[in-house]
Amino acid sequence: PLQDGKEQTANGTSPKTSLTVPYLNPLVLRKELENILTQEGDIALIKPEFVDEHPIIYWNLLWLMERIESKTHLPELCLPVPSDKEHIDPLSKVKTVHIQCLWDNLSLHTEASGPPMYLLYRETQPTSPLIKALLTDHAQLNKNVIQQIISAIRCNDFATPLKRLANERHKLKSNGVERSHSFYRDILFLALTAIG
């Protein structure tokens, strides 16, 4: 679901508004975009109304263009349009437009116990073997398991990571960890982080 959220500062003002939209698989995004182009024509992609009429498509398309590092006119569609009377640069009024494309918002997944695998992968490990042995957390996956999952994914083997993750989650459940991130989400985001 689409969510509008405002972050509050200490004095109660809201300096920035954040918008969260569901992620669309690129194949789904392509099909939805084809439907829009068929129904509304190519002109739909240059109208500022496109942002309000198709917000999920717009923000996913913007994220995709950012990810493939392609130049696009899409960010300009969310800027205010000056009226005919005004001959002022629209960017002079909106100096705080900042678009940040995220593929994960941890605040939306607070029901899961522990961090997702991609965050565990990013964490730096202690270099001392003694410290590694002493710092064992039985509430999350260890770095070796994550490395094995990445290695299997690099070999185009998806069955092994699923089995390995299922076994590890079963062990975690016996240690009291009840709720985890979905297998697909955890492996997908780990692959995005580790492999690109």
pLDDT digits (tens, 9 = 90+) for 87-97: 555 555 555 55
User: 3-state class of 30 per DSSP?
Assistant: helix
State the angle between helix axes of 143-154 and 159-174 in degrees (0 to 180), rounded to the nearest 10.
160
Cα–Cα distances (Å) from 110 to 49, 105, 113, 114, 194, in that order, read 34, 10, 8, 9, 23
Distance in angstroms (rounded) separating the CA atoms of residues 150 and 42? 41
How many C-beta neighbours within 10 Å does residue 136 have? 8
Q: Is the alpha carbon torsion for 68, 55, 96, 10 positive or negative?
A: negative
Question: Which residues of the chain are modeled with pLDDT < 70?
Answer: 1-18, 79-103, 108-113, 124-140
